[in-house]
Structure 1
Amino acid sequence: MSDYRKPRQARAIPTFEAILEAGAQLLGEIGIERISSNLVCERAGVTPPAFYRYFDDKYALVAALADRLMERQNEVLEQWLVRQQGASLEEVVGDTIGLLRETARIGDEMPGSLWILRALRAIPRLASIRLESHAYVTGRLTDLYEKLLPDVSRAVLERRNRLAVDLGYAIDEMIRENDIDREAVFEDARPLFQAMIAYPEYPGARSA
């Protein structure tokens, strides 16, 4: 995002990280509407000029936190993809729940993750972070399933995987918004992922 700037000098990194940590904590405590740059500065122990050296406003701070969340989730995806090498279609689809669990763990480890997910859907200037992440995950999953479903066109697989990715992010948000049995949600989702990805191809799927 153009409205936040990473530090160029090593000595500035602790200040940048302190601001990010304070912002994440405050997001989790009071939400995006009540958070302000002044509150973040007070929590981080920095001055407003230090804040604005890196962030144009609180939404730029959320953008930086969102980028970090998406990057960590992408790392989990890459690790999961390595584990799928040599697996069958049924095994890969079945272990999608494992990917959901790992993605949820990343959110658990980052304070304010629920508000970050909400912001990516609700604030237009942050939408590109969500869309770029969805496109990346969709492409990587399509690369995997293209090897397992060689008779189904890539366009169809991309469409199905995009549906699956959107469902996965919706589940990650759902389990944080409600007092709900997340394992039950994961198991409810299992047949949905199987249906979206591995169902028999319909007429025209080869060329769609």
Structure 2
Amino acid sequence: MASPKAVPQQARARQTYERILSATAEVLVQVGPERLTTNLVCEQAGLTPPALYRYFANKYALLEALGERLTQAQRDVLVEWSSVSNLSQNPQDLLKSFEGLFHKTMQVTLRFSAGVPIMRAMRSMPELQSVVMQSHQQIAAVIAALFVQAYPQTTLQTAQFLARTAMQIGYSMMEMLFDEPQLSTEQAAAAVARMVFALAEPEIRANAVGLQSLNALSN
């Protein structure tokens, strides 16, 4: 798979680049990732194939560019939420915070142009799975580092596993809701929050016990 080339800096070239991606999103909604072709995108954008190939080698490069933009929008939500203060809330507030994070990530994905088809493409096409993997690894590293600050007795390796697993649970639940929209988003958010909290709770408790022991020793 050929990755998209660097985003052009000149105004006219940048307009063409954005026009291509906008057309790709429109075609993707109409026909889905499997039937997407560069010819259909050119027809939608009113461009010749050489104009498209100047920036994108094939349809996978088009989808990769859209996938990177979507995952960046999702990462922005997670980064904004990620803080030591959020992670160290009391259990009830932490559960509510997890629910809110899930809802906000869902909303950002649904508002993103062709967000759901892009997620489906990244899930189903091996050529695009590295986009998802890299995005999840990056944000998991941020959350893990903050988790260790909030709960110092947790190892970074354990925190990375917890963060990565929590993200997988959240994204899998979103995909289920996209495939079965009749299901309750509220119930899904609550279920994700409970599962993620269940993952983190042993470390939270262990840190609390450890802190109590340290305080007892110091007294």
TM class by smaller structure:
0.7 to 0.9
**1:71 shift after superposition:** 1.0
| Runs of 4+ off more than 6 Å | none
Please list the CA deviations of residues 140-177 of structure 1 after superposition, one character each: whole Å capped at 9, or x if unmatched: 11122112222221111111111101111112222211
Q: Which runs of 5+ in 2 are unaligned?
A: 211-219
Cα separation, 1, equivalents of 2:19 and 2:163: 37
**1:58 shift after superposition:** 0.8
Aligned residues: 204
> Is 1:185 the counterpart of 2:192 in the alignment?
no
Does the 8 Å CA contact 1:4/1:54 hold for their aligned counterparts? yes
Matched residue type, 2:200 = I
Alpha-carbon distance change, 171 to 124 in structure 1, aligned in 2, over 3 angstroms = same
Q: TM-score, normalised by structure 2?
A: 0.83
- Which position in structure 2 is the counterpart of 1:46? 47
Match 1:160 to one of 149, 162, 165: 162
Alpha-carbon distance change, 67 to 170 in structure 1, aligned in 2, over 3 angstroms = same
Cα separation, 2, equivalents of 1:132 and 1:138: 10
Alpha-carbon distance change, 145 to 34 in structure 1, aligned in 2, over 3 angstroms = same
- Which position in structure 2 is the counterpart of 1:198? 201
Q: Which runs of 5+ in 1 are unaligned?
A: none
- Which position in structure 1 is the counterpart of 2:122? 120
Alpha-carbon distance change, 167 to 175 in structure 1, aligned in 2, over 3 angstroms = same
Q: Identity rate of aligned residues, in percent?
A: 32
Does the 8 Å CA contact 1:28/1:113 hold for their aligned counterparts? no
Cα separation, 2, equivalents of 1:84 and 1:20: 38
Q: CA RMSD in A?
A: 2.4
**1:84 shift after superposition:** 4.2
- The SS at the match of 2:82 is helix
Cα separation, 2, equivalents of 1:181 and 1:97: 13
**1:87 shift after superposition:** 5.1
- Which position in structure 1 is the counterpart of 2:112? 110
- Which position in structure 2 is the counterpart of 1:73? 74
Q: TM-score, normalised by structure 1?
A: 0.87
**1:35 shift after superposition:** 1.3
**1:20 shift after superposition:** 0.8
Please list the CA deviations of residues 14-55 of structure 1 after superposition, one character each: whole Å capped at 9, or x if unmatched: 111111111112212210111111111111122211111111
Matched residue type, 2:28 = L
**1:124 shift after superposition:** 2.5
Bigger Rg over Cα: 2
Cα separation, 1, equivalents of 2:33 and 2:165: 28
- Which position in structure 2 is the counterpart of 1:4? 4
Alpha-carbon distance change, 172 to 140 in structure 1, aligned in 2, over 3 angstroms = same
Cα separation, 2, equivalents of 1:92 and 1:145: 13
